Chain A
Amino acid sequence: MLNIQLLAFGIARDIIGSRTASLELPDDASLQDLRILLLERFPAFAQLRSLAFAVNTDYQTDEYLIRDGDEVVLIPPVSGG
């Protein structure tokens, strides 16, 4: 199993109910798998305009294979400026 940390901002933090969370995923999990799991556990994510992921301060696509110890950042639609 992979152990990862989630870091959530904006409305994503409201949806999961905390800034950080720990999660276990199967060894070959991708961000796509994480997306599916998040949508199952927190259906409110389906209502968002988008949900992007970053790993260690870089945006990553859903094909990214998660590594043990990764910090995965949940990035709902940004609204800076």
Chain B
Amino acid sequence: MIDVRLLATALEDDACLSYVASEADGGTVLFKGTIRNRTAGKPVLRLTFEAYDAMAVREMESIAAEGLEKWRCHRVAIHHRTGTLLPGDTAVLIAVAAPHRQAAFDCCQFCIDTLKLRVPIWKKEVFADGEVWVAAHP
């Protein structure tokens, strides 16, 4: 079972954890990606996330389905933010539950690594002296 959401409001750990909770599973992993207050030593004021919504949701669903199948996990929740975030805010949550912990760790790592490679979401870092689209240039 898969719960994918692209949200403009604050992400809730409990929403992901309660979605994946099941008596059939002995291990739950929650990955939480938060906004750092510095990039290469420069203070970050805020970040803006932009998404191609329809495709971002489809790609996250397909990644979650791939992870579930490959590691035989039961449930995955992926929640990702859009809009403006401040240091400390949560940008992404990925919760995975499986009968045993190794599958949950591996599936969760696959989901976040693959999300960063192919889900059409972009972040712009805003500094005191300008803005940068992250990873746009070599």
Chain B proximity mask over A43-81: 1 for CB below 8 Å, otherwise 0:
000011100001001110000000000000101111111
Contacting B133 at CB < 8 Å: which of A79, A80, A81?
Answer: A79
Chain A proximity mask over B27-56: 1 for CB below 8 Å, otherwise 0:
000000100000000000000011110111
State the Cβ distance, A37 to closest chain B Cβ, in Å: 21
Contacting B33 at CB < 8 Å: which of A58, A76, A81?
Answer: A81
Contacting A9 at CB < 8 Å: which of B50, B80, B115, B116?
Answer: B50
State the Cβ distance, B137 to closest chain A Cβ, in Å: 6
For B92, the chain A residues whose CB sits under 8 A away are 80-81
Contacting A79 at CB < 8 Å: which of B52, B123, B138?
Answer: B123
**Does A7 make an interface contact (CB < 8 A)?**
yes
**Does B134 make an interface contact (CB < 8 A)?**
yes
**Does A16 make an interface contact (CB < 8 A)?**
no
Contacting B136 at CB < 8 Å: which of A7, A10, A81?
Answer: A10
Check if B50 sits within 8 Å of A10, measured CB to CB: yes
Known: A9-B52, A73-B52. Is A78-B137 also a contact (CB below 8 A)? no
Known: A9-B120, A58-B55. 4 other contacts (CB 8 A): A11-B122, A49-B135, A78-B122, A79-B133
24 A-B pairs within 8 Å (CB atoms) are namely A9-B52, A9-B122, A10-B122, A10-B133, A10-B136, A11-B133, A14-B133, A47-B137, A48-B137, A49-B135, A49-B137, A54-B52, A57-B55, A58-B55, A76-B133, A77-B135, A77-B136, A78-B119, A78-B120, A79-B123, A80-B91, A80-B116, A81-B116, A81-B121
